[in-house]
Amino acid sequence: MYVGIDIGGTNIKAVLTNREGEIYSAKSTGTGKTIKEIDDTIVDIISEFMSAFSDRGTVQAVGIGAAGSIDGNKGIIITSPNIQAWKNYPLARNLERRLGIRVFLENDATVAVMGEWWQGHGRKFRNWIMLTLGTGIGGGAVIDNKLYTGQSGSSMEFGHISIDYRGKKCKCGSIGCLEQYASASALARNAQSLLRKYPASALNLRPKGEPVTSKLVYEAAMKKDELAVHAIEEISFYLGVGIANLVNIFNPEAVILGGGLSKAHRMIFPIVKKVVAERALPGLKDNVKYLAVKTQDKIPALGAAKVAIDSLGL
Amino acid sequence: MYVGIDIGGTNIKAVLTNREGEIYSAKSTGTGKTIKEIDDTIVDIISEFMSAFSDRGTVQAVGIGAAGSIDGNKGIIITSPNIQAWKNYPLARNLERRLGIRVFLENDATVAVMGEWWQGHGRKFRNWIMLTLGTGIGGGAVIDNKLYTGQSGSSMEFGHISIDYRGKKCKCGSIGCLEQYASASALARNAQSLLRKYPASALNLRPKGEPVTSKLVYEAAMKKDELAVHAIEEISFYLGVGIANLVNIFNPEAVILGGGLSKAHRMIFPIVKKVVAERALPGLKDNVKYLAVKTQDKIPALGAAKVAIDSLGL
């Protein structure tokens, strides 16, 4: 058996699976705020899995996906937007010591793509790309039915494609990076900047001191709040510019959206498609399918388990 | 035996080769201006090859690379920047009729990448990208030692990556396409716009009515003409922005420059490397080699022959 864990900003999702991706059990619990809380939560989940399913075998390895800058080879979280305390934190080694099981770490976009490839929409296509819209924008490409990883094991940083060489500064040091325009954080910032222009917006009625989050914007947009709808339309335009670039590069069979903000795909895709129609090349843009991952699903956690299965297989 | 032909704006280059890429003979002649001249030149070259090397066997197929919008499946040149008269011209079928040999057509960037993969720098790497700097900018990527073609057989249109979503209009209909900033034509336009600012430039002394071409700019830059050097530096900056995007996507082992303007690689690469250092992500930009194809070489023609070999092999 294998455990896959997806550590999000809000929840830790875990699955217990076999080599074929059959799920024996799944759990979701609050992420917690300190390093110790997270470590303890993970250890507890795995221990519970092991005792409840001891008749099926033993856990061979654990795969973990986490947002941020990850050194997969060393199992270290270099920095993470969700958990500030994680700085060069050797998560994999610490868990290995406590559990006595091999632990493999990858970034959240990679496990999300791996999950889609193994058990999600990606199974239907040989050549496709995925963008995960969260605090940043992650990416992945499956080429000829294989996850492309570049020479360093890391690549497809679609959030850091510059769509404006003299545009917004990015914390990566570059200028005009897509994630400054079309991530969940960009949506929140964009909505914040529109508050005065839309005095009637429900977002102006939020409790004092509470920040505008992408979740609040999404919920308001679902209720047709004008500001929120406008803010999502704007980031969808920029996302379309980025996806048009990727369509001209990959001519993919499908573009799959993941990450928290992909919940808004019914608002996002019509604008993305319009921009791609205007900006990508004939022949390359003609047969592209646009899909969103099923939200709240177990696929990233399954992807993390698959990372563990494949890593152990080497 | 196989013939590969690379139809450029100035010259038609042809090679006679075997399946292993061994060159029996090579020719280069002026391209000519009319459809008939080009057709006749190609027929003449192949006839000469066949009679001179009849003891080695017969020509099994011909591969042709040409600039422009190409329908490889139908063997049609839809439009071409070099030869205005080519409009939906069925070059492959017309030549097949006259020669009695199969003829395969591809765009010039594809045959250039194929040639580098088969007999050029590309042999040293498994994952690499190539940009061809000519009238436009073409591209190609070799992934896991295979030429990536997308679902339609066409992809990697690096010239149509937008580096400024509100920038210069491109004739493709999009905005801010890299080839508007960093192709040989962009260089010529850029130099033209700088003529008044640099009254002492040798480019101001060209015969009246003669346009500023990228070739003139390159030659002047080789003599350290300030305008020309400045113009090449500017387009190199934009090329660097585009290549930084591609490094963040592919994390390639090598970036190879081809096309006429790649002759200026000694001026272009230092600036490209600086921009990539500033704009691409650590880890992804660290182990990238920058290479230019050998100029005036036979590699694109060999790539065209390889297209014919592979097409026939299916």
Q: Are residues B132 and B45 in the same domain?
A: no
Ramachandran class of B12: left when φ > 0, alpha when ψ lies in -120 to 50, beta otherwise: beta
Write out the two tokens for B278. Answer: 């500033």
In a domain, A120, yes or no: no
Q: Can you name the residues that pair with B70 across neighbouring β-strands?
A: B77
Q: How confident is the model at residue A22 (pLDDT cuts 50, 70, 90)?
A: very high
CATH number, domain of A96, equals 3.30.420.40
In a domain, A119, yes or no: no
Q: How far is A113 from chain B (nearest CA, A)?
A: 15
In a domain, B119, yes or no: no
Q: Concatenate the DSSP letters of all residues of B27-58 into one string.
A: EEEE--SSHHHHHHHHHHHHHHHHHHTGGG--
Q: Are residues B33 and B150 in the same domain?
A: no
Q: Are residues A35 and A12 in the same domain?
A: yes
Q: Are residues B158 and B275 in the same domain?
A: yes
Number of inter-chain CB pairs under 8 A, A vs B: 137
Q: How far is A244 from chain B (nearest CA, A)?
A: 8
Q: Are residues A30 and A164 in the same domain?
A: no
Torsion angle defined by CA atoms of residues A271, A274, A276 and A277, in that order, rounded to the nearest 10 degrees: 170
In a domain, A178, yes or no: yes
pTM score, whole prediction: 0.92
Q: Are residues A132 and A180 in the same domain?
A: yes
Phi and psi (nearest 5°) for B72?
-65, -35
d(CA B14, CA B91): 16
Q: Are residues A196 and A258 in the same domain?
A: yes
d(CA A198, CA B13): 64
The confidence score (pLDDT) of residue B224 equals: 98
**CB within 8 Å: B281 and A157:** yes
Asked whether the predicted pLDDT for residue A70 surpasses 90, the reply is no
The confidence score (pLDDT) of residue B187 equals: 98
DSSP-based three-state secondary structure for B89: strand
Residues spanned by the domain of A26: 2-113+297-313
d(CA A142, CA B244): 21
Q: How confident is the model at residue A72 (pLDDT cuts 50, 70, 90)?
A: confident
d(CA B95, CA B93): 5
Chain B residue whose CA is closest to A254: B151
In a domain, A49, yes or no: yes
C-alpha to C-alpha distances, A42 to A14, A28, A47, A312, nearest whole angstrom:
9, 11, 9, 20
In a domain, A225, yes or no: yes
Q: Summarize the confidence of residues A88-116 as an average pLDDT.
A: 95
Phi and psi (nearest 5°) for B103?
-125, 130
Higher per-residue pLDDT: A241 or B153: A241
Query: What ipTM describes this predicted complex?
Result: 0.91
Write out the two tokens for B283. Answer: 């880890």
Q: Are residues B145 and B254 in the same domain?
A: yes
**CB within 8 Å: B165 and A165:** no
Q: Can you name the residues that pair with A130 across neighbouring β-strands?
A: A140, A256
Mutating which of A168, A279, A286 best tests the B interface, going by the most B Cβ atoms within 10 A?
A279
Digit-coded pLDDT (tens) for A154-204:
789 999 999 999 999 999 999 999 999 999 999 999 999 999 999 999 999
d(CA A297, CA B227): 59
In a domain, A149, yes or no: yes
Q: Are residues B301 and B287 in the same domain?
A: no
Digit-coded pLDDT (tens) for B197-221:
999 999 999 998 999 999 999 999 9
Asked whether the predicted pLDDT for residue B296 surpasses 90, the reply is no
Mutating which of B71, B129, B174, B181 best tests the A interface, going by the most A Cβ atoms within 10 A?
B174
Q: Are residues A232 and A157 in the same domain?
A: yes
d(CA B166, CA A165): 11
Residues shown for chain B: 314
How many structural domains is chain B composed of?
Answer: 2
Q: How far is A195 from chain B (nearest CA, A)?
A: 25
Average the pLDDT over each of A288-292, B152-156, B269-273, B276-280 and give the range with the smallest value. B152-156
Q: How far is B311 from chain A (nearest CA, A)?
A: 19
- 8 A C-beta contact, residue B258 and residue B292: yes
Chain B residue whose CA is closest to A71: B283
| Buried b or exposed e, range B205-222, using 16+ CB within 10 angstroms | eeeeeeebbbebbbebbe
Q: Are residues B139 and B267 in the same domain?
A: yes
Q: Can you name the residues that pair with B142 across neighbouring β-strands?
A: B128, B147
In a domain, B118, yes or no: no
Chain B residue whose CA is closest to A174: B279
**CB within 8 Å: B154 and A244:** no
Q: Summarize the confidence of residues A99-106 as an average pLDDT.
A: 96
* Nearest alpha carbon to residue B250 among A140, A36, A223: A140
Q: Are residues B148 and B13 in the same domain?
A: no
- 8 A C-beta contact, residue B163 and residue A163: yes
- 8 A C-beta contact, residue B108 and residue B13: no
DSSP-based three-state secondary structure for A95: helix
Digit-coded pLDDT (tens) for A34-59:
999 999 999 999 999 999 999 999 99
